[in-house]
Chains A and B, each alone.
Chain A
Amino acid sequence: MVEKAPNPLFDFYYDLLTATLGAPDWLAMTLWFLITALAIIGIALGLGGLMSYIFRKVFARMGNRVGPNRVGPFGLLQFLADGIKFIAKEEVMPLKADKWGYKAAPFFVILPVILSFTPLPFGNGIILADLTYGLLFILAVSALSPIGEILAGWASNNKYSMIGGIRTAALDVSYEIPMVLSAASIVLLTGAILPGESGLNTLNIVHAQEATVWFFILQPIGAFIFFASALAKAGIVPMDLPESESELVAGYFTEYGGMRFGVLFVGVFINIVFIAALTVTLFFGGWTIPFANMIFSDPNGPLALIFGVVWFFLKTAFFVFMVLATWLTLPRVRADQFLRLGWKVLFPLALLNLVLTMIEIYVLQQAQVI
């Protein structure tokens, strides 16, 4: 059995159920899994809704407009109104569409996005599931989305959707590789800094950055490659193919309506938050505060914990703004141009980055830093 890190919340819950209420072990565990799953979905969708509101506000301000400000205070309930609108709409399925493919496809597209929040640490020890292979889990799960995209494109019985689906899947698969390679460099570094610990564990990655320095400084190329590849996978302008609105109407989800479309639509926004959070975790120190020992008398106490969470969200918000600025400023790159970019530029760069990382680790070990 794998050694898991102590999780005080789980301990409290387990004691409450088994000792106080007398529930059997299997019931407590099942309920725990259920609660965790609902928590993941709730957090992900909530963040997605909030992100859609932020997107509309930022987009408006960048065009000298105001953005939603009627529904709720400052328009904050706008995403609820949009959600209700999506639910209330009629879902029109094309007559000759492949029924089961059409219905199954959105699951494959939205599932990776929501699941990826599981091993993401929001604070010191605040993590939904401390997986030993957390980063591998994230990368593996995100490889599921091309299936959904091709399935949606094909099952819609629409040429636009098919072209959009194939383009999107090509994009996803091509940019997966530089992303995995730059993440692999991080894993190597973490394993070297914390010998004996799993380099794939996201908590370990942040602890390694706490021990030395933010990985952004050790791996500038890797950070850039990772950020660009993650943006491409999420389908954000300038690599906007899934939703290249002016060309293919709406890409592979042209024929979807109602909540099926709503789910895909909010998936893009959840993805933005997720990319920002992942970049912060991997390259910018997660929740670590520089000079924590000097600021806080008890770096492991509750005050530092809360401040770490707030700091994490602030950093994520900054990266979200960077993503939005990229989305709203740059035009779209053409399909073949950025496939060329992915394979001919980012992939060799990622390989080079891996080799450089190995050299870096050797140098640092020789210099007794690690």
Chain B
Amino acid sequence: MVTLNQQTAADLWKNRADRVPESGGQLKLVTLNMGPQHPSTHGVLRLKVTLEGEVVRQVEPVIGYLHRGVEKLFEDGSYLQAIPLTDRLDYVAAMHNNYALVHAVEKMAGIQVPERAQYLRALTMEVQRIASHYLWMGTFGLDLGAVTPFFWAMRDREGALGLMERMCGARLTYNYYRFGGLKNDMSPELIRDCGRYAKYVRERIPEFENVFTDNDIFQMRTQGVGKLSKETALSYGVSGPLARASGIDFDLRRDDPFNPVYQKVNWKVITSNRGDCYGRYLVRVAEMYQSLNIIEQIVADMPEKGDYLAPEVGAGARQHRVKGPEKAEVYGRVESAKGEMGVYICSDGTNRPYRMKWRPATLVNLAPLNDMCIGQKVPDLVATLGSIDIVLGDIDR
């Protein structure tokens, strides 16, 4: 249980994003609108930035430009029909969204997942995590001005997308997980190719590290920029690499295991106590290496025989008829590439949810943007926003 000390609480209230900012010096305050269309806001996010000269005094994010009413659409269909909808939330890492929903429903309906299915799920989660972090690295370089690593990231991400295309038939909206397992099995060649892809990635990440990690200009741009202290992070409830880079040692794969395979393989939770953009970069790169370790161990330990789908639920139309108990409320969460992604389901006994509230990882992570950016300059704002790793589909739903 963490208590917030009084000084931090007072500071947070003083600097909250919707108050009228005061000028720090003699210059007039100017409002700059980094509007919904902007090359670096990763989607349609509007930032109302109040500047004094070049120094940021307040940042107010305005969201909702990608709102599609997904939570209302969930209520229109069954739990099975909700799975393709979740693909479109965090469209960069769609497997993780699928898993959040499927995990919550399994918790609610009490479905046991067979062992081989658990291994396959963990494998696909980690491959997806690598793909998501690759995209982040490429776009972070673009935000800072290094244009070439973006293409290397896309090239390497193609391998992961190709693997997932062979698994489930699509490159971005997978619709792969089902209640009690997966939609279809993975052949041994595909599993072996996942291991081969992990080996390929292991040789390719040093390319990025050579261009970024020791580069003096990169360090000048990211060290000390966008600092998020541990207390602030805890009070906002951020999760994922953003929290781990501020020193919070919390990873759902270890602390609230949604998949028992993570207890069986050797891997570490990476934290850093830097709290700035450089720390987040280091944490994500190290997380990619840990994901590679997990993938290689899973490929080695995968049980040969086993069900890929729990037989008591069954495939096809029986998934459509999965229903929850009457008047049940359950919250299921997974560790996605961006943070803790969860869904809170209220069921009324039918195969349609009464209400599904989605906890987006990126919306909560976007909240401390104001506190991270006050007193810094506009390029630092862009770098900080890039290092939080937002996806507008997840923020706006």
- Residues of A that sit less than 8 Å from B by CB: 59, 62-65, 159-160, 163, 237-238, 240, 244-249, 328-337
Contacts and interface: CB of A to CB of B under 8 A. Distances in A.
Contacts, number: 81
B161 interface: no
A335 B151 CA distance: 26
A160 to B, nearest CB: 7
A331 B152 contact: no
Given A63-B151, A247-B40, 19 more contacts: A59-B147, A159-B32, A160-B32, A163-B378, A246-B144, A247-B378, A247-B379, A329-B211, A330-B215, A330-B217, A331-B217, A331-B218, A332-B145, A332-B217, A334-B220, A334-B377, A335-B54, A335-B377, A336-B377
Given A64-B152, A247-B40, A336-B377, A331 B30 contact: no
A103 B99 CA distance: 57
B38 interface: yes
A334 B378 CA distance: 9
18 contacts: A62-B148, A62-B151, A238-B145, A246-B40, A246-B142, A248-B378, A249-B38, A249-B39, A330-B215, A330-B217, A331-B141, A331-B144, A331-B145, A331-B146, A333-B217, A334-B220, A336-B377, A337-B221
Contact of A247 (B211, B220, B382): B382
Interface centre among A64, A160, A332, A337, by most B CB within 10 Å?
A332
Nearest to A341: B220
Contact of A65 (B142, B151, B211): B151
Nearest to A240: B145
Given A159-B30, A244-B379, A247-B40, A333 B146 contact: no
Contacts of A247: 40, 378-379, 382
Nearest to B218: A331
Interface centre among B38, B145, B211, by most A CB within 10 Å?
B145
A241 B38 CA distance: 17
Contacts of B211: 329
Interface centre among B147, B218, B377, by most A CB within 10 Å?
B147
B396 interface: no
B28 interface: no
Nearest to B146: A331
B143 interface: yes
Interface in B113-155: 141-148, 150-152, 155
Interface centre among A237, A248, A334, by most B CB within 10 Å?
A334
A244 B143 CA distance: 9
A237 B142 CA distance: 12
Interface residues of B, number: 29
Contact of B382 (A64, A240, A246, A337): A246
B340 interface: no
A126 B232 CA distance: 67
A195 B218 CA distance: 47
A240 B382 CA distance: 15
B380 interface: yes
Given A63-B152, A159-B30, A337-B220, A331 B215 contact: yes
A331 B155 contact: no
B221 A333 contact: yes
B145 A329 contact: no
A329 B208 CA distance: 11
A245 B150 CA distance: 15
Interface string B208-250: 0001000101101100000000000000000000000000000
A163 B142 CA distance: 21
A247 B38 CA distance: 8
A238 B382 CA distance: 16
Contacts of B150: 63
Contact of A328 (B147, B377, B379): B147
Contacts of A160: 32
Contacts of B141: 331
Contact of A329 (B39, B54, B146, B221): B146
Contact of A244 (B38, B145, B151, B218): B145
A92 to B, nearest CB: 15
Contacts of B215: 330-331
B220 A333 contact: yes
Contacts of B152: 63-64
A334 B216 CA distance: 12
A246 B38 CA distance: 8
Contacts of B144: 246, 331-332
A334 to B, nearest CB: 5
Nearest to B144: A331
Contacts of A62: 148, 151
Given A249-B38, A330-B215, A336 B147 contact: no
A240 to B, nearest CB: 6
Contacts of B148: 59, 62-63, 328-329
Nearest to A246: B40
Nearest to B211: A329
B221 A334 contact: yes
A237 B151 CA distance: 17
Contacts of B147: 59, 237, 328
Interface centre among B30, B148, B215, by most A CB within 10 Å?
B148
B54 A336 contact: yes
Contact of B380 (A240, A330, A334): A334
Instruction: Give me the 6 closest cross-chain CB pairs, A-B, nearest first.
Output: A332-B145, A63-B151, A246-B40, A331-B144, A331-B146, A331-B145
A288 to B, nearest CB: 35
A278 B143 CA distance: 31
A238 B142 contact: no
Contacts of A333: 217, 220-221
Interface centre among B143, B144, B215, by most A CB within 10 Å?
B144
Contacts of A163: 32, 54, 378
Contacts of A337: 220-221
Nearest to B153: A63
Given A63-B151, A247-B382, A329-B211, A237 B145 contact: yes
